[in-house]
Amino acid sequence: MPVRDLTAADFRAYRTMSSGAFGGAFDPAAPQTPQDFSPGETAIGIDSSALPGGVAGVIAAGARIRHDRIALGGGIARCGGIGGLAVHPAHRGDGLFGELLTAVIARCDAEGMPLSMLYPSNPAIYRRFGYQVVAQLETLLVPLVDLQRIRAVPGRRTVPVTEATLPRLRALYHRLSAGENAMLRREGPLFPPGLPGGGWSALLLTDEDGTDRGYLSWSRRSGEADGAGLEVHEILAADRQDRLALLRSLGSWSTVTELVRLRVRTDDPVRDALPGGGTRPVAEPLPLVMMRVIDTAATLQARRAPAGLHGAVHLVVEDGTVPAGTCRAAGEYLVRAADGEITAVPADEPVAEALGTVRLDIHAASLLLVGGRTVADARRLDLRATADPAAEAFLDALLAGPRPSVLDAF
């Protein structure tokens, strides 16, 4: 089953196939309908004509690989975001899904993306190829009457976000998300430079010196069954007082709606700032985020080592989910931390400086190397993770941080 790059000439056939798989009409004649893949994506696929009973001009299976960068342990890593992976109904059950996903993993490796990310509709089929659930995106229903009780925060004011002030918001987002794990950097060409469309609005929070401290973004809703008049995309702020100031501003919408929908990160500190007991999760499925290590050494070396942490471990990663040579996840490494830097070099056996050995399967590696979880967490999930005690403590310290969060869908 030959997998090849898809070009602009294949775009209509691919979109017709993927729209049929995921729903939504594709009208190539409609105004502003894209006619080519994004320059920030690599598209690959399999021709129907290459298969028994296939037809020319039909894409039997295809996927898009986004070239994103994510925050990771105080550093930045490249990440292949997988979207639109679908198989034509006429060719399902013939092994095309596995063939294509294996090619996606290999392509991420070839293009220097040490991690891969996707939003699964069926996690089990992706798990067979080494992907592991690392996060979930939760949305809360917040009564605005609760927010009206928040007192004004001295020295804070809000500023409208316009084309002129949008660069400040983008710079603030980079600063506030730098310590997160897995948050997209939101860079071009996948994220255009102008204001987002679709009714998106935002405001900045500044202090008395004019320093940007946080922001709130939303879209207006009307006539929804849950009664929420706003979709709050995110509240990011420097500290608790800033979060309270933004929540108080959000409460001013009580004249037009009683409820808002608020997206929150994993362990989002905004939860702790929400007053009252009326907040509740929305009654809908939780979107899951799965990630996979493509290149273990590159993933580790993209991170920053915690200040003051020095030492080394022998790390063994085992990956039986894809053929050997598909990517560089499996292997044995001497992982060192010193002076804020992490290095990972091939090592077939422990050396004297290593505190011991940590042995992980690909699922445990994908869970842990994204950060915010411990070796004990991996074992609790029945993932294969064994370690000498000193080596386990070191790796936990090395990968400490907030649990992964992703606020962008694709």
CA pair distance 250, 256, nearest whole angstrom: 12
Specify if 256 maps to a domain.
yes
Q: Which has the closest alpha carbon to 2: 59, 57, 83, 41? A: 59
Q: How many residues does the chain have?
A: 410
Q: What is the CATH number of the domain that holds 376?
A: 3.30.1050.10
Label the pairing between strands 341-346 and 331-338: antiparallel
Specify if 288 maps to a domain.
no
262 and 165 share one domain: yes
Q: Which pLDDT does position 29 carry in this prediction? A: 66
Of 281, 311, 341, the position where a domain reaches its end is 281
93 and 224 share one domain: no
CA pair distance 226, 142, nearest whole angstrom: 11
- Amino acid, res. 115: L
Specify if 386 maps to a domain.
yes
251 and 300 share one domain: no
CA pair distance 292, 270, nearest whole angstrom: 28
Contacts of 341 (CB under 8 A, 6+ apart): 304, 305
Specify if 130 maps to a domain.
no
What band does 1 get if pLDDT is binned at 50, 70 and 90?
Answer: low
Mean pLDDT to the nearest integer, 259-274: 95
243 and 300 share one domain: no
Q: Which pLDDT does position 239 carry in this prediction? A: 98
Please give the residue range of the domain that contains residue 146: 138-281
313 and 230 share one domain: no
Q: What is the pLDDT of residues 343-377, one digit of tens each?
A: 999 998 888 899 999 999 999 999 999 999 999 99
**Res. 28: pLDDT tops 90:** no
Of 220, 247, 281, the position where a domain reaches its end is 281
167 and 263 share one domain: yes
Q: What is the pLDDT of residues 221-235, one digit of tens each?
A: 987 878 899 999 999
C-alpha R_g of the chain: 23
Number of domains, the chain = 3
Helix H or strand E segment including 16: helix 11-22
Q: Which pLDDT does position 155 carry in this prediction? A: 97
75 and 199 share one domain: no
pTM, to two decimals: 0.94
What band does 9 get if pLDDT is binned at 50, 70 and 90?
Answer: very high
254 and 171 share one domain: yes
274 and 350 share one domain: no
- Mean pLDDT computed over every residue of the chain: 95
- Amino acid, res. 112: G
Specify if 78 maps to a domain.
yes
CA pair distance 65, 43, nearest whole angstrom: 6
Of 79, 98, 113, the position where a domain reaches its end is 113
Q: Which pLDDT does position 10 carry in this prediction? A: 96
Terminal-residue alpha carbon distance, the chain: 27
What band does 169 get if pLDDT is binned at 50, 70 and 90?
Answer: very high
Q: What is the CATH number of the domain that holds 142?
A: 3.40.630.30
92 and 149 share one domain: no
247 and 309 share one domain: no
Higher-pLDDT residue of 1, 249: 249
Q: Which pLDDT does position 209 carry in this prediction? A: 96
Range from 26-35, 132-141, 310-319 carrying the lowest mean pLDDT: 26-35
What band does 285 get if pLDDT is binned at 50, 70 and 90?
Answer: confident
What per-residue string of b and e applies to 33-42 under the rule 16 or more CB within 10 Å gives b? eeeebeebbb
- Rounded to 5°, angle at Cα 374 from 368 and 378: 70
CA dihedral angle for residue 260, residue 266, residue 267, residue 268, rounded to 10 degrees: -40
Q: What is the pLDDT of residues 63-120, one digit of tens each?
A: 999 999 999 999 999 999 999 999 999 999 999 999 999 999 999 999 999 999 999 9
